[in-house]
Amino acid sequence: MINWTRVAELRDEIGPEDFSEVAELFLMEVEDTLSRLILAESDPKAMQELMHFLKGSALNLGFSKLSDTCSAAEMEASEGKITLDIPQLKSLYSQSRRLFETEYAQRFAA
């Protein structure tokens, strides 16, 4: 669900001191985007753009399963189809975030 190698790479790139702030900004942007999905439910182009953003954000922060799900939904939307289960996607994000927040402290304890 979480690509911890990617998390470690990002943490090394940013620096341990600034990582928490950057991660929190990513999470806030993802949540904002998730809140806008319902508006794109009948607009494949808008859904494709939102899924592209979510895919990149999730991938950047190591949320691999979420990124994979968004990638599939982005591809479908590019073909004019929207079959995305928005509540399920939000649940996957919540599960990923909980796991990230719980394990991050354990994996990167000072």
- Whether 110 has a pLDDT exceeding 80, the answer reads no
- Determine the length of the chain: 110
22: CB partners within 8 A, 6+ apart: 10, 14
pLDDT tens column, 14-48: 998 899 999 999 999 999 999 999 999 999 999 99
Element holding 82 (H helix, E strand): none
- pTM (two decimals): 0.91
Count CB atoms within 10 A of the CB of residue 43: 13
